[in-house]
Every structure is written in C-alpha cells, then in structure tokens.
Amino acid sequence: MESTLRLSSGHLQVRDADYDPDKLSVAWEYLIENPEQIAAQIEALDQVDVATPRLLASGIISVQSDSIGVQIMGIDPASRANDPYRHLVSGEFLTADDREGILIGYPLAQNLALNVGDRINLLVNTADGTVDEQLFTVRGIYTTGTTAYDKGIVFLPLAKAQAFSGAGNHASMIFVLLKDREQAEFVAKAIPSRNFKVETWRELNSLLVLVNDFSNAYLTVINLIILGVTITVIVNTLLMSVFERTREIGILSAIGMKGRQIIAMFLAEASLLALGGVTVGSLAGWALSVYFGKVGIYFGDLGLSADMLLEDRIYTYLTLESAINLIITAFVFTLIASLYPARMASRMEPVEALHNAQ
Amino acid sequence: MEVAKLTDVTRIYKIGEVETRALNGVSLTIESGEFTSLVGPSGSGKTTLLQLIGCLDQPTSGKVIIAGKDATNLNRNQRADLRKGTIGFVFQFFALIPTLTAYENVEMPLLLNGKSAAERKKRVMELLSAVGMTDRANNRPDQLSGGQQQRVAVARALATDPKLILADEPTANLDTENGEQVMEIMKKLNKETGATFVFATHDPRVIKYANRVVTLQDGLIVKDSKVNGKS
Ligand SMILES: Nc1ncnc2c1ncn2[C@@H]1O[C@H](COP(=O)(O)OP(=O)(O)OP(=O)(O)O)[C@@H](O)[C@H]1O
Ligand SMILES: [Mg+2]
C-alpha cells in the first residue's frame, strides 16, 4: 500500500481548483503558478516530508514506424519524492538542466527496442491546444517493478517539460509525501486553499483503499477459518488424550486429586502444546515471511488501470505487532479449546474410570 | 476405634431398564488395626462394597461413616478430599501411572497432600525400602514385574499414613511367590503401623493372613468370623 502511494498518488496532491486529472491539459488556467514557491511553503509544514511540483502532459513517442501514447511527467530530479523512479536498469537519472534527455520505463524500452543513447521523437499536446515535437535522447531506463506504470510514463526534467509544452512557470500538481500518512486529512485542511483543491491518498485511491479493506476483511475470514480448524484439532487431540488416559485419571482421582487439579493438569498440558506449536509456527512463519519479503511473490503484470497500481511482485512482511497478536490469540484459543476436554476429564467418576479401563 | 461404619447400605446399578442390586442392605463396622478379607462368589458385591468404604462411589441408600465423618452425601470434590488423607488403594491391576517412575508414583499422594520436598523425599525412601524397592526407584512401571509394581502400589497406598487401606484382589495377577511377598509386606506394615487393611479376594493365600473374614453372597453378608490369621 505505502509503496503504491509513494509511486503514484503520494499522500496528498495539491492542484488547481479547475484541474481535471483525466484530461492532462497543460492550459494555464488549469495549472498552478509558481509551483516551486508553493511546494516550499507546503514542505515547511511540520507533518510534511517532501513536496514537489509535477507537470503532466500527454504525448506520443515515435521510433521509426512505431508510435505509442505516453504520459509525460516533468519532475524535479533532485527531489526525494522521485526516488521510486531512480531504480535504473541502465543509463543515468535525469539532471535538472538536461534539455534533451528523457527517462523511459523498461517495458516501453523493450517494446520499442530502445537502448540508452538512442534517439526518439516525442510529440506533446501544448498549452495553446496545438502540438509540438522534438528529438530526445534516452538517458536512462527505469523500473518501479510495476509494469502497468512503467510502460506508460516517461520523465523529463520539470523545466524542460514546462518549456516543451508551453506551460511556462506552471505545474499540474504539488505532490506531497507526509511523515505519517494518517495525518493526510489534517494537513489537507492546513494547506491554504485559495484556488487549490487538495486531495488525500484516500480520495485519490478510493478503489485501492476499497480493495485493501476488502482484502483485510478477507484475511480476517481466512484467519477465523484457520482458527476454527485449529480449535477443532486441539479439542480432538485433547479428547483423545482424555480417553486414552481414563484409567490414569481414575487412579489420580482415587488417590485424592480434585476436579480442579485435573483441569489444571490438562490445561498445563495444553499450554505446553500451545507453546510448542506457537514456537514452531512462529519460526516457520517468520522464515517464510523473511524469504518472501526478500524474493517476493511474482504475480506478473496485473495490467490494472492507473487507479490501482500494484507491483508485479508482492513482498511479504511481518510486523512485531501482528506476530504478537497472533501468538497471543493462538495461546488463548488453545487454552479455551482445551477447557472442554479438561472439564470432561474432571467429571469422570473414579469408579467408572477404573472400571472401563480394566 | 471405628475406621468405617456402614449401616443398611444398598447399591443398585441401573443400566437402562435393568436394575442390579449389587448390595442389598449391608451393615458392617471396621475397627482400627483390622486385617480383614471380604470373600464370596463372583458378582456377590465385594468390589462394590469396597468402593463404598473407599468413598469412590455413593450408596443408593444407607449410611457410610469413614473415620468419624459422614460420607454419605459428600460431593465429588469432598469425597476426593476425604480419600486424599484417609484412604489408600491397592488395585488388582496395580494401577500405577505409566509415565512416572516408581519414586514419583509413591510421591504423588504426598504432592496432593502438599508435603514439602524434604518430607516427601524422606517418606518415599522410607516406603520404598519397606517394600524392598529402593533399587528400582527410578524405573517406570513397564520396567517392573507385576509383583514389583504391586509393591510400589502398596507403598503408594501407605504414603500419607492413611487409617484405612483397601485392596481389591491385590494378588489376582501375581504368581504364588510374589503374592506371598506382597501379603507379607502388608501384614508387616499392619503390625508395625497399626494401619487397617480390607481386601476383596478369592485367593486363599490372602485369606489365610486375615484375622477377620466377611463372606458376601448376592449382596448380603452371610458370614462374619474372627479368625487367627497367619502372622
Ligand atoms: N458399574 C456397574 N454397572 C452395572 N452393574 C455393575 C457395575 N459394577 C458391578 N455391577 C454388578 O453388581 C454386581 C456386584 O458386582 P461386584 O463387582 O461388586 O462383584 P464382585 O463380588 O466384586 O465380583 P468379582 O469377584 O467377580 O470381582 C454384579 O452383578 C455386577 O454385574
Ligand atoms: Mg470384584
């Protein structure tokens, strides 16, 4: 989730009140003027990590007879907010004063058989409603690990993008990352919004947030099922153990062990069972999660719309909190599950217990 | 002193519609220091009577007084408490806990009675020595012969110094030699400590040690005689 936010929507986007994100228009009336200055003001807020201007325009790349529609994004190469694009397959990242360089994604480079140093023709829809075109040199080929993203977006330095598209000293948005994304709503209110529209990551990713909530609910259901199965297995194991030891229980009861003590005995046994299970389970779970945290689970290009970018690989991670929660849950439920067999054992009449076993 | 006093006790087992009158109005008093055999044909009610004296079971009617306490209407836990310090059991099938060593089996009732570690150790060693099992203290039951297991069971029954030791066919699964040995040990303990023993048995080798023989038939006492048992 967080990586998707950092890659595409950010935690907050500040745009001109009239801006329509679907049109990618660079007409001045839809843009923010003096974006550097505004970004600096936003970055001065305590809760903000970085804020950087971006210009979005639509364009077409042509190489010989192939042409492909792309989104052109003008970025400040120095900003930390652009770190997700800094992972290069080959070549170099952009510099702010580059006037001929372009950064393209790995899948796009493959499609068009492009290498670093190759020249491409880029066509752009300009601010006055016409088109302009220019030759650019591929400086670098980046990968974010999200094919759907990488094949559609190319980067130019902000200044060059502004000049090329005729946007002047304007930007489409200020892209904001916070120190804590849960403060998005709070910061959104704090940003002076004369002519601006501020949208939070929740609004920007409504579909993703929905999917995320859904998958959390789904996980809860799966957890409940696993828990149910576990409890059944534990109840069964302990019931077997009670039946197998009918005679033993009878003996202990005959020499004066009380119901309470018999329950305690079985609960102690269940605790040992739980302790062993939790230890082995935690170690195995931890090892798996570390492994898939490094290697990732490959899903391929899910080809989802830009509303919901997912990486091609999903990396597992384990928080201490969720581990502790699971461990405590497992423990508590094992003990609860063992109550029934333990009570059964404690209610056996010594006579019957001894009798049955002989 | 009376260790156990049963008055007009009946015990009816009900399985579905079928009623079995295992005991049919039995009155019996056991005095301290007795070495008594309950005899009678199979199904005459010996085990049932022993279980009532031992507070393992409750009578359908009649009254059971153990060591001066009325045990007739005690609940499960109260009966367990009464058994814990007052009554020791020896069963036909030895009835040791298979996962515990001889030492630990004897220690068990002491643990239940909350004795300190030092007290337990002293008492267990004393008892194992009394039944001649000191060198097998760390063996588990499956590493012991039947006779040895029964000797450990006798040691366990005596661990808490109970007033009354009840044994149901203690020699039925032992050969002559081992049976004699176990009986010798019990008789010796009876004389040395004054503990009271009651056996249910068919075994003439047991009966010959008794100083009182109570004969049951169809849930009734048909004969009760003092004898001069072998000592
Ligand atoms: N748990 C029980 N449920 C139903 N009937 C029982 C139960 N225990 C004993 N009985 C019946 O009660 C009667 C007396 O049984 P008990 O075990 O006291 O005899 P016993 O004298 O010990 O016999 P044995 O010498 O064979 O051990 C028998 O008819 C027996 O079938
Ligand atoms: Mg019997």
Name the pLDDT band for A128 (thresholds 50, 70, 90).
Answer: confident
**Which helix (H) or strand (E) element contains residue A95?**
none
> What is the residue range of A193's domain?
2-204
Name the pLDDT band for A198 (thresholds 50, 70, 90).
Answer: confident
C-alpha B7/C-alpha B61 separation (Å) is 9
Name the pLDDT band for A98 (thresholds 50, 70, 90).
Answer: confident
Q: List, in order, residues 6 or more apart from A35 with CB less than 8 Å away.
A: A53, A169, A170, A171, A174
Domain co-membership, A313 together with A330:
yes
Domain co-membership, A225 together with A162:
no
What is the atom index within ligand 1 of the atom nearest the CA of B216?
21
Domain co-membership, A90 together with A227:
no
CA separation, residue A280 to residues A274, A276, A284, A287, A334 (Å) = 10, 6, 6, 11, 15
pLDDT for res B8: 92
Give the residue-averaged pLDDT of A203-232.
81
Residue B19, number of CB atoms within 10 A of its CB:
11
Residue B142, number of CB atoms within 10 A of its CB:
9
Structural domain ending residue among the three candidates A157, A177, A204: A204
Between residues A164 and A25, the one the model is more confident about: A164
Q: Is the full-model pTM beyond 0.90?
A: no
CA angle A24, A25, A28 (to 5 degrees): 140
Between residues A165 and B230, the one the model is more confident about: A165
Are B91 and A354 an interchain contact pair (Cβ–Cβ within 8 Å)? Answer: yes
User: Percent of chain B beyond pLDDT 90?
Assistant: 30
C-alpha B155/C-alpha B185 separation (Å) is 10
Domain co-membership, A36 together with A174:
yes
Structural domain ending residue among the three candidates A154, A188, A204: A204
Q: Residue A244, CB half-sphere, CA atoms under 13 Å: how many?
A: 8
Question: Does any CB of chain A come closer than 8 Å to the CB of residue B54?
Answer: yes
Closest C-alpha among A10, A30, A45 to residue A189: A45
Domain co-membership, A190 together with A218:
no
| Closest approach of A312 to chain B, Cα-based (Å) | 55
Residue A3, pLDDT above cutoff 80? no
pLDDT for res B53: 92
Domain co-membership, A162 together with A281:
no
Residue B123, pLDDT above cutoff 60? yes
Determine the distance separating the centroid of ligand 2 and the alpha carbon of B200, expressed in angstroms. Answer: 7
pLDDT in tens, A319-340: 777 788 888 888 888 888 888 8
Do A26 and A55 contact (CB within 8 A), yes or no? yes
Are A255 and B91 an interchain contact pair (Cβ–Cβ within 8 Å)? Answer: no
Three-state DSSP class for A273? Answer: helix
Do B64 and B52 contact (CB within 8 A), yes or no? yes
Name the pLDDT band for A277 (thresholds 50, 70, 90).
Answer: confident
Residue A4, pLDDT above cutoff 80? no
The ipTM of this complex is 0.85
Closest C-alpha among B111, B104, B48, B103 to residue B84: B111
Name the pLDDT band for A223 (thresholds 50, 70, 90).
Answer: confident
Domain co-membership, A177 together with A213:
no
Determine the distance separating the centroid of ligand 2 and the alpha carbon of A337, expressed in angstroms. Answer: 38
Please identify which residue in the block is written with the tokens 């010798």.
B184
pLDDT for res B214: 93
pLDDT for res A322: 78
Q: What is the mean pLDDT of chain A?
A: 83
Q: How many domains does chain A have?
A: 2
Name the pLDDT band for B29 (thresholds 50, 70, 90).
Answer: very high
Question: Does any CB of chain A come closer than 8 Å to the CB of residue B156?
Answer: yes
Name the pLDDT band for A216 (thresholds 50, 70, 90).
Answer: confident
pLDDT for res A310: 55
pLDDT for res A244: 83
Q: Which amino acid, B56?
A: L
pLDDT for res A305: 47
Are B56 and A251 an interchain contact pair (Cβ–Cβ within 8 Å)? Answer: no
How many Å from the N-terminal Cα to the C-terminal Cα in chain A? Answer: 63
Q: What is the mean pLDDT of chain B?
A: 88
Residue B222, number of CB atoms within 10 A of its CB:
11
What are the helix and strand counts (H, E) for chain A?
12, 14
Domain co-membership, A50 together with A195:
yes
Domain co-membership, A27 together with A152:
yes
C-alpha B121/C-alpha B138 separation (Å) is 13
Are B95 and A256 an interchain contact pair (Cβ–Cβ within 8 Å)? Answer: no
C-alpha B132/C-alpha A87 separation (Å) is 82
Domain co-membership, A45 together with A144:
yes
pLDDT in tens, A200-215: 888 777 777 777 778 8
Question: Does any CB of chain A come closer than 8 Å to the CB of residue B112?
Answer: yes
Residue A311, pLDDT above cutoff 80? no
C-alpha B61/C-alpha B63 separation (Å) is 7
Three-state DSSP class for A349? Answer: coil
Do B140 and B100 contact (CB within 8 A), yes or no? yes
C-alpha B148/C-alpha B94 separation (Å) is 9
Structural domain ending residue among the three candidates A147, A170, A204: A204
Domain co-membership, A194 together with A214:
no
Domain co-membership, A345 together with A233:
yes
Name the pLDDT band for B216 (thresholds 50, 70, 90).
Answer: very high
Measured from the alpha carbon of residue B216, the closest ligand is: 1
Range in A117-131, A212-226, B134-148 the model is least confident about? A212-226
Residue A180, pLDDT above cutoff 80? yes
State both tokens at A18: 């009239």
pLDDT for res A358: 46
B11 Cβ inside 6 Å of ligand 1: no
Name the pLDDT band for A302 (thresholds 50, 70, 90).
Answer: low
Q: Which amino acid, A2?
A: E
Pairing of the two strands A297-298 and A313-314: antiparallel
Range 249-268 of A in CB contact (< 8 A) with B: 250-261
